[in-house]
Amino acid sequence: MDPRDSAGHEVTGATADGLAHFETAAHQFRCYIGDPVASVDAALAAAPEMVMAHVLKAYLHLLGTEPLALPVARKCLATAADLAATERERGHLEAARLLAEGRWRAAGRVLEDVSIAYPCDALALQAGHQIDFFRGDSRMLRDRIARVLPAWSRSIPGYHALLGMHAFGLEETGDYAQAEKQGRRAVELERRDTWAWHAVAHAYEMRNQPKEGLAWMSLDTDAWAKDSFFAVHNWWHQAVYHLELGAHDDALRLFDGPVFGARSSVVLELIDASALVWRLMLRGVDVGDRFDAVAANWAPIAAAGNYAFNDMHAMMAFVGAGRTSEQQAVLDAQRAVLDGELIVAADNLEFTREVGHAATRAIQCFGQGRYADCVELLRPIRHSAHRLGGSHAQRDLLDQTLIEASRRAGFEALTSALVSERVALRPHTPLAALLDERAQRLANVA
C-alpha cells in the first residue's frame, strides 16, 4: 500500500523520503515561505512516480500567473498523465490541466468537487482559494473554506492555513471583525502564515484603520517578511497605510526598499510595484524615474495576454515611463485575446471583454491626458471590477484613478459626488481631506 500524507490520504508512488519532502513543500506553500519548488524537486528525486509531487510542482508554476512558467507546469502534467493515480489525485490532475489551459472557472469547480469528497485535502483548498482570488470570486473565497471547517481540527496539520484562508474570504465578503478574529487565530497557531497576516492587513485596510494596520504589521515583522514569497505584498500594504495617512515619504521609502528595491521580475511583485507608484503619482507626488525600472521588468511579457489584471498593471508602468510601443503591445495582445487568437486566453477572454480591456485603455487615456475618455471607460465597469480578479484593496486603484481623472477633466459635479462617496467610507484620514479639498477647489473654479 502506498504511504499516506499527514491528513490520511493515500499518495500514489510515494516513498517515505519523498513524502517527507512533499510535506515540507506543502507546508512552505501554505505559509508562502522558503523554497517549495526545491522541496518538491527533492520529493520527485526520491519518488519520481509520486503523482501529487508532480501536481504540486505544476500548481507552483500556475498560481503566479507567470506566462514563462507555463511550460514547466505542462511538463509536470505530461509526466504525471501516464502514472497510476487515485480518484483524488486524478481530480488534482484534471484541475491543473484546466488551469494550464487558462480555464480558471472549470479548474475551480473540479477542485470544489475534490474538496467536497476529501474535505481535509489542504492542497485542493489552497489551490481552489487562489483560483477564486484570481477570478475575483469573493463568495467562493469564503464558502469554499467554510463548508469544510467542521471536518477540521487543530490536530490536522495545516489547520492554521484553513483559518487564514477563511479570514481572507470573510474580509472580501465584508465581515471584517470575524476576518480579523480568524486571521489572528491562524497566526497564533503558525506565526509564519503570511497569508493570514495579509488577511488581517486587508481587514484593517477595508475598515480604514491604517494606524491599526501598521501596528498589526509591526508586531512580528520577521514572521511575514523573512524568506517569504508574500513579503513584498505585505510591505505594499504598509505603504498603502502610509498613503492613506498622507505619509508619502514613508511610502516612497518602502517602494525603494522592500517593495521594489530588489528590482524583482516576479509578476505578482511587479503588480505591487506598479500599483504603488501609480497611487503616488495620483496624489501628485514626484516619483522621479521609478516607473522606468518597473516598466523595464514588465517589457519582456508585455504581450503575454494571459491575465487582464496583469495587463492593466503593466500598462500603468508603461504609461508612467512613456513607453508607447509596449503600451501598444499590451493592447494588441488584449485584442488577440478578444479575437480568440491566443490559446492561453480561455477564461481571460471574459476577464478582458467585461472589464480588463476598458480598464487598461482607461489607464492609457489617463497617461495621454485624455481624462474625459478615462472617465467614460471607467464609470461603466467600476461596479463589476471584481471580474478583473484581485482583491477589493487592489481594485480600489480604479476608483482612485476615476476620481483624479474626473477632477482633471473638470467634471465638478461628478468629482464632488465621487469624493463624497469615498469620504463616507473613509472619513478620518488625510487622504480623505486631500480629496475633499481638491473637489472643493474644483467647485470654486467652476
Range of the domain at 3: 1-135
- Which residues make beta-bridge pairs with 96? none
Work out how many domains the chain is built from and give that number.
Answer: 1
For residue 10, tell me if it sits in a domain: yes
C-beta of residue 62 within 8 angstroms of C-beta of residue 96: yes
Q: CA–CA separation, 334 vs 338, rounded Å?
A: 6
CA 270 to chain centre: 11
pLDDT higher than threshold 70 for residue 344: no
Per-position DSSP letters for 186-221, written without gaps between them: HHHH-TT-HHHHHHHHHHHHHTT-HHHHHHHHTS-H
Residue 121 within a domain: yes
Please give the biggest Cα pair distance in the chain. 79
Angle, vertex CA 35, rays to CA 224 and CA 347, nearest 5: 85
| Domain-located, residue 228 | no
How many Cα atoms within 13 Å fall on the side-chain side of residue 261? 12
Q: Is position 51 within any domain?
A: yes
* CATH at residue 38: 1.25.40
What is the rounded CA–CA span in Å between residue 222 and residue 219? Answer: 9
What pLDDT was estimated at residue 213? Answer: 98
Listed residue (19, 78, 71, 82) closest to 47, CA to CA? 19
DSSP 28-61: HHHHTBS-HHHHHHHHHHH-TT-HHHHHHHHHHH
What pLDDT is stored for residue 1 in this prediction? 60
pLDDT at position 428 is 73
Average pLDDT, the chain: 95
Per-residue confidence (pLDDT) for residue 431, from 0 to 100: 74
Strand partners for 33: 228
For 244, residues 6+ apart whose C-beta sits below 8 A from its C-beta are: 208, 210, 426, 429, 430, 431
Tens digits of residue pLDDT in 356-369: 999 999 999 999 99
Beta bridge partners of 228: 33
pTM: 0.94
Contacts 24+ apart (CB under 8 A), 180-183: 180/204
Question: Which DSSP state fits 156?
Answer: S
Kindly report the backbone phi and psi dihedral angles of residue 173, in degrees, each rounded to the nearest multiple of 5, phi listed first.
Answer: -105, 15
Query: What is the rounded distance in angstroms from the CA atom of residue 179 to the CA atom of residue 202?
Result: 9
Q: What is the mean predicted confidence (pLDDT) over 274-297?
A: 97
In a domain, 312, yes or no: no
Is 206 within the bounds of a domain?
A: no
- With cut-offs at 50, 70 and 90, classify the pLDDT of residue 263: very high
d(CA 174, CA 332): 37
Residue 81 placed within a domain: yes
The C-alpha cell that represents 388 in the structure block: 478583473
- 446 pLDDT above the threshold of 60: no
N-term to C-term CA, the chain = 79
The whole-number pLDDT of residue 340 equals: 85
pLDDT in tens, 374-403: 999 999 999 999 999 999 999 999 999 999
Q: Does residue 413 fall inside a structural domain?
A: no
- 3-state class (DSSP) for residue 10: strand
Confidence of residue 345 (pLDDT cuts 50, 70, 90): low
User: What is the Cα–Cα distance from 140 to 132, expressed in whole angstroms?
Assistant: 6
Q: Residue 63 pLDDT more than 80?
A: yes
Q: pLDDT for 121-154, tens place per residue?
A: 999 999 999 999 999 999 999 999 999 999 999 9
pLDDT at 445 over 70: no
